[in-house]
């Protein structure tokens, strides 16, 4: 009944309605949503390019996945065709004859150390992870939602998960100025998997204080407008769920505890290097292990490759926006973008 152009038009109109309603509510709210326009520039990439790929299907385990090895294959092929790689490490759980190639806890941490080893200004480091992500109770007070995010190695049941604090300490902390690290985290609960302090919206602004109730109301109003225009029931249910979750203030808010956690993250997780993370979803969400075009794949990795294949010349914020539009109405997850310092990401994307 409704064609592709009608759905695209409905999405654009509902987005404008959501912004207008959100802005109106923000003016009435003392804890209104605030943003900051970042001014720090990305350094130039002219050195070596290293990449670490991690894919885990968890063969024979509870919660076995199907698309993670395909994600590694597809993103690696795309990068090699468009961004020549000088050094590559691949950790996948089909390498049963090579213990060093298995994505165990020890090997993933070793991979993080390998990726950053010897990095100097102008180098580009790339991390792609496709597998399970989890969350556990935060013990050191640096998480606004009270939960630490975790990666699940193939041997997590015996060796344990990798907590986001450890990811940051081993991979991110102390990276030299001028080094660029681009992380693609296609897993559940992944928004703050690198523990980066600066979260971006699709306009390239930093989200400083999130007024979740106002955002929830705005999302639900915009959803009604969209459904009236295109009749997309899947998008209706997905967006209503997102809006209702914000309205009920799950995992958000601007109370004293959250402010303290935000302040601690700013003080302890800011970086001199250009560290940028694209995540498959918000910390409170799950990422889909999907089947698209007859192939098992992570929804976020699929959206990233599809977007970049369309045009290699685009801004970081355009990439985030297009990825979200690709998944909108099909999956509940919302891809996110974060950084280790106040980078101006309304600049041209590049690995």
Catalytic amino acids? 132, 188
Measured distance CA(224)–CA(157) in Å, rounded: 44
| Strands across the sheet containing 336-339 | 34-36, 206-209, 198-200, 336-339, 274-279, 180-186, 124-130, 49-55, 87-92
Phi, psi at 131, each rounded to 5° = 175, -165
Phi, psi at 30, each rounded to 5° = -65, -30
Phi, psi at 95, each rounded to 5° = -90, 55
Phi, psi at 158, each rounded to 5° = -105, -35
Measured distance CA(287)–CA(57) in Å, rounded: 14
CB atoms near residue 241 (< 10 Å) = 14
State the pairing for strand pair 147-151/87-92: unpaired
CA-nearest of 13, 349, 25, 339 to 205 is 339
| 256-280 as b/e: b if 16+ CB within 10 A | eebeebbebbeeebebebbbbbbbb
- Asked if 314 and 291 count as a contact pair (C-beta separation under 8 A), the reply is no
């Amino acid at each position: 009944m409704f064609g592709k152009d009608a759905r695209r038009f409905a999405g654009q109109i509902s987005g404008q309605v959501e912004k207008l309603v959100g802005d109106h509510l923000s003016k009435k709210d003392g804890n209104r949503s605030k943003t900051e326009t970042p001014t720090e520039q990305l350094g130039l990439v002219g050195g070596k390019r290293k990449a670490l790929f991690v894919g885990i299907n968890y063969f024979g385990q509870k919660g076995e996945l199907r698309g993670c090895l395909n994600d590694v294959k597809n993103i690696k092929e795309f990068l090699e065709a468009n961004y020549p790689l000088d050094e590559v490490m691949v950790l996948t759980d089909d390498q049963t004859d090579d213990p060093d190639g298995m994505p165990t806890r020890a090997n993933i941490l070793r991979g993080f150390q390998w990726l950053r080893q010897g990095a100097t200004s102008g180098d580009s480091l790339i991390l792609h992870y496709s597998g399970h992500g989890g969350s556990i109770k935060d013990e050191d007070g640096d998480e606004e939602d009270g939960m630490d995010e975790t990666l699940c190695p193939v041997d997590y049941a015996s060796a344990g998960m990798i907590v986001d604090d450890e990811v940051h300490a081993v991979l991110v902390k102390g990276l030299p100025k001028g080094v660029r690290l681009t992380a693609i985290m296609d897993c559940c609960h992944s928004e703050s998997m690198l523990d980066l302090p600066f979260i971006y919206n699709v306009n390239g602004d930093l989200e400083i204080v999130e007024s979740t109730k106002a955002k929830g109301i705005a999302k639900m109003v915009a959803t009604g407008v969209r459904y009236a225009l295109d009749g997309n029931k899947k998008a209706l249910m997905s967006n209503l769920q997102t809006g209702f979750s914000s309205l009920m203030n799950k995992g958000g808010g601007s109370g004293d505890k959250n402010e303290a956690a935000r302040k601690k993250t700013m003080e302890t997780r800011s970086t001199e290097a250009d560290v940028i993370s694209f995540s498959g979803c918000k910390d409170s969400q799950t990422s889909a292990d999907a089947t698209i075009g007859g192939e098992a794949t992570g929804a976020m990795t699929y959206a990233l490759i599809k977007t970049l294949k369309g045009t290699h010349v685009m801004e970081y914020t355009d990439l985030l926006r297009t990825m979200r539009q690709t998944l909108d109405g099909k999956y509940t997850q919302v891809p996110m973008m974060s950084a280790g310092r106040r980078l101006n990401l309304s600049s041209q994307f590049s690995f």
